Each structure stands twice: as structure tokens, then as C-alpha cells.
Amino acid sequence: MTTKKHILVGISTPEAQGEEFIAAWERAEKNLPPEEPVDRLYLQNLSMLLRVLSPKRMELIQTIKATGPVSIRKLSKELRRDYKNVHTDISELARLGLVEMTEKKQAFVPWDVISISAEIPLAKAT
């Protein structure tokens, strides 16, 4: 059985991330396996999450995953999008680790699954 490479993208505060780190440390001290998925990308708020994973960017990710490593130029032609906009999107996705680049400057997606988690408080704590 092949294990799928999985990343969790979500919203989290620095405090919650610190608590998650401590919990992971404690699991490791007890020789317990890490929680899945291991790879995580946390963003500050819902607005940022929706900007990072916009419909156009999700289309890019899905197209790259379906076709395999591809140049930005070929990708922009295939999706009928402006090269500069595709380049900007790929650069941002690569900076965040959702897309990677080969030595030949081809974009590829290292993930099989992207899970999204967004716990949104509806009222400020007092």
C-alpha cells in the first residue's frame, strides 16, 4: 500500500502552534508516532487562506499534479492565463511549500492530498 503525501493547510494562532509543538514533543518523548499529517502550513486568518488557495491557484495546483513537472510558460498556455500572473502564483505557492521547482525550472506538486482546516471564532474572547 502506497502512503499518500499529505499536507494540512489551516488557520492557527502562534499560541496554538506553540501548544501543538509541545504536544508533538511530548509524543516524541513517549516514542509515540507523530500525528498525521506531519506536514502543515498555518496561515493567520481566513482572508489569507482564501487568497493563498484561491480558485485560480487551486486550478494551477491540480493541473500541475495531473500533468507532472511543467514549465510556467507551458502552464500559462494550457490554462490560457497571462504568464506574469501564473509566474506570480507559482512563486507564492513555492514560497509556501505547496509547489516546488525542479532544477530545469519546472513546477511540480509534492503532495497527493491538501487538507484544509479553518476554525473561525465567531466572537472575540473577553
Q: What is the pLDDT of residue 34?
A: 82
CATH code of the domain in which 113 resides? 1.10.10.10
Q: Is residue 1 part of a domain?
A: no
* Residue 90 lies in domain: 6-117
Longest Cα separation, the chain: 53
Q: What is the pLDDT of residue 65?
A: 96
Q: How many domains does the chain have?
A: 1
Q: What is the pLDDT of residue 68?
A: 94
Q: Global pTM?
A: 0.83
What is the mean pLDDT, run by run of 10 residues, along the chain of 126 residues? 84 87 91 85 92 96 96 96 97 97 96 89 69
The C-alpha atoms of residue 126 and residue 116 are separated, in whole angstroms, by 28
